[in-house]
Structures are given as structure tokens and as C-alpha cells.
Chain A
Amino acid sequence: MDYIDPHIHMVSRTTDDYETLAKMGCVALSEPAFWAGFDRGSAHGFRDYFRQLTEVEPRRAAAYGIQHYTWLCINAKEAENVPLAREVIAMIPEFLDCPNVLGIGEIGLNKNTRNESIVFLEHLQLATAHHQLVLIHTPHLEDKYQGTRMILDMLSDFRELEPQRVLVDHVEEHTIRHVLEAGYWAGMTMYPVTKCTPARAADLVERFGPERICVNSAGDWGPSKPTAVPDFILEMRRRGHADSLIRQIVYENPRTFFSQSANFVTFQPSSEGVESRQ
């Protein structure tokens, strides 16, 4: 089945992974800016990173027929350094017209601190000023519930930011309801140990339905599986769900969300038809 992985960090993955994704049916992906595993020393490091995301990765992906899109920001972990964060935020508008940029992301919280909150709010100001979509990272493990609630509080302060233009990612059993009830899109990340598994993601689809829900691998430099979305497809098929429902979640939903960005006009739709298994 053709699918879109709406959250995967290909700068951390090998070219073999691009080939594998293509063989598994990945036709497009989006890559949010994130923490590289170490703190960068200056805004110049981010400029190089943004060039990698807007110039290099699209070419690597295209070699395997995959359409590459991206999101720009300074991540929550490095946002603890507010002066650096402000330098990076000031630089982002230079890149917003690059053809594969969908918006601002993945912004959010890490340890739910004051500095992270300040930088998150300044990213939201940037997004509203430039009418950009927003992709949000929610914290890990014990910090997730508290951080997600804080993020939703801050989003509610931005009345000009339409909920359907915001995706709150890494939701799990205890946060998904809050996100969906507030009108935002919800992303489920499937990791081997932390976050969701494909089975738990399928459980949440069965509980909450497919509307405004996306699934992703968030494949990166840590323990993660870039083919987690095909694992989800298999899990849903094992349970007897129709391919039309599965396709809505893994292809139509990310396409619908991304289509709100003017830059997504470059997307070449999949020619694959919907095959009903019912």
C-alpha cells in the first residue's frame, strides 16, 4: 500500500533506508527539524542543517522516487538556550519559501521548563506571522502528560492559529483525547520501546476513529524503526480492517493536513487505487 510517513528524520538514516522505504510503499515523507544528538554551538550550525533539509535530503529521496518535505525550527531541547533560539528563529524566514518547507516544527517542550515555553511561544508567533502550518513535539515518558497539557494551554492563547493547521505529535493513550477534543490533528509515533507500538496505535484508531489521526515512524539516530508505518498497516490488516480505512490514515490524512501548505502543491498523488478488503 502506498503511504506517507509524516514524521521521519532522514538525515540520521542511510541511503539503504530510503531504498527500503520505497520498496515498502513510501511515496512521500516529511522531516521535522530536531535535536541531532548533540547541542549545536551556534546559529550557523542550524543554517547548515536547514540547507541539508531543504537541498540535500530532497535529492536523496528523489533518487528513490520519494517526495521529501520538511519543517523548520530550533527543537525544544536546544531551546533551553534562549539567545541561540532567538537567533535561529530570526533566520527561519529565509527558508520558508523553499519548495519543500511545510511549516514550523517540530516545536514543543522537552522537560517543560520556562525557557522551553518562551521559545515555543515565539515559534508560534513566527508561524502566525508567516501563516505557516505547525508540527508539535510532545515530551517523552513521565513529562508527556504535563507537557502536552501545557502546550494545549499555550496554543489556546493563539486564537488566530486555526486548530486544523496544527498537528500535535507523539500522542499516546493519556493525551490523544485532549488533542482531538481541542480540534488539532494527532500524530502517533511507533517506537520499539517508548511511545506507541503499532498494536497500541491500532487500538487508539479503534477507540477514536480515523479522523485527524496520522501515524509515523519518527525514525532517527536512536532506537527506532523507519518501517513502522508498514508495521501498522499489517497490524490493521491482521485485525480485518478495510484497506480504505487504513489508506485514510497512512495516506489521505497526512495529504489532507499537508495540503494546507502552499508548498504542498508540488505533491504528485499516488496512482494507486483504493482496494477494498471488505
Chain B
Amino acid sequence: MNVASHSDTPVLDREFLEIRNLILQLGAALDRVERVDLLREDDHRWQRIVEALAVLDQDRDQRAERIQMIFSRDYSPAWREQLGVQTNRVI
């Protein structure tokens, strides 16, 4: 179920300065890292940042959800067996 916004103001009018500010802050933060840190390409956090930035450049919706998944550990349906946790009731 989608709930539509009823504002008379176009969303971009409302969000433009905020988006501009966020991109500027992001650019400045990346500059800050590059100025100081070495070997960042080997850092898995940096790799995830690069991957997430690529999502922003794709012309699709649900960017936020896809970025969340980039920064998430994998889920395995076999986790119970891997951890040795009994199904349904604990001994």
C-alpha cells in the first residue's frame, strides 16, 4: 500500500537544498579520507562505500534499501545448524 504525499510543493523544491547539502558533505568527507589515509582500497569499509556510491548513480528506485544491503552481513537460512541452536525449543 502506498500513501501519496498531498503537498502542493514539488518534492524536488522541498528537497533540493537538503540533497545539495548531503552531496557536498559526502564529497568533503571523501576528500578528508583521501587526504589522510593510505591503502584505503584494501579496507573493506572503503570498498563498501565505493559500491554504495555506484548505487546512487543508477536510475532506479529503492536506492536506500540496496545501500542498506551493501552495508549488511549476509544471512544464511542454515544459521541454526551453523550455531548449534536447537529448532523450536532449547535444551
Listed in ascending order, the chain B residues whose CB lies under 8 Å from chain A are 1-9, 14, 62, 64-65, 68-69, 71-75, 77, 79-80, 83-85, 87-90
A54: interface (CB < 8 Å): no
- Interfacial residues of chain A within 235-273, with CB under 8 A of chain B in the complex: 238-242, 245
**CB-based contact B64/A200 at 8 Å:** yes
Contacts of B75 in A (CB 8 A): 145-146, 149-150
Q: A121-B85, A122-B90, A174-B72 are in contact. List 9 more A-B contacts (CB 8 A).
A: A114-B83, A125-B89, A146-B74, A146-B75, A146-B79, A174-B68, A200-B64, A203-B64, A239-B5
Residues of chain B within 8 A (CB-CB) of A122 are 90
Report the bound CA distance from A189 to B22 in whole Å. Answer: 21
Most buried by A among B3, B62, B83, B90: B3
What is the CA–CA distance of A207 and B65 in the complex, to the nearest angstrom? 12
CA distance A143 to B49 in the complex (A): 17
Residue A209 CB within 8 A of the other chain: yes
Q: How many angstroms between the C-alpha atoms of A114 and B75 in the bound complex?
A: 15
* Residues of the A chain whose Cβ atoms lie less than 8 Å from the Cβ of B65: 173-174
What CA separation (Å) do A141 and B69 show in the bound complex? 10
Measured in the bound complex, the distance between the Cα atoms of B73 and A242 in whole Å is 38
In the complex, A245 Cα to B7 Cα: how many Å? Answer: 14
Q: Are B3 and A241 neighbours in the complex by a CB distance under 8 Å?
A: yes
Q: Which residue of A lies closest to B91 (CB)?
A: A118
Closest residue on chain A to residue B62 by CB atoms:
A173
Q: Contact: A240 with B5, CB < 8 Å?
A: yes
Decide if A153 touches B80 in the complex (CB within 8 Å). Answer: yes
Q: 8 Å CB contacts to B: which residues of A206-249? A: 206-211, 238-242, 245
Contact A173/B64 with A114-B84, A157-B88 known, Cβ cut-off 8 Å: yes
Which residues of A sit under 8 angstroms from B62, Cβ to Cβ?
173
Residues of chain B lying within 8 A (CB to CB) of residue A118: 85, 90
Residues of A with C-beta under 8 A to B87: 157
Residue of B nearest to A122 (CB): B90
Residue contact A113 to B83, C-beta cutoff 8 Å: yes
Sample 6 A-B pairs with CB under 8 A, ordered by A number.
Answer: A118-B85, A144-B72, A149-B75, A174-B72, A206-B3, A241-B6
Is A172's beta carbon under 8 Å from chain B? yes
Question: Which single member of A145, A157, A158 contacts B68 (CB below 8 Å)?
Answer: A145
Residue of B nearest to A249 (CB): B3
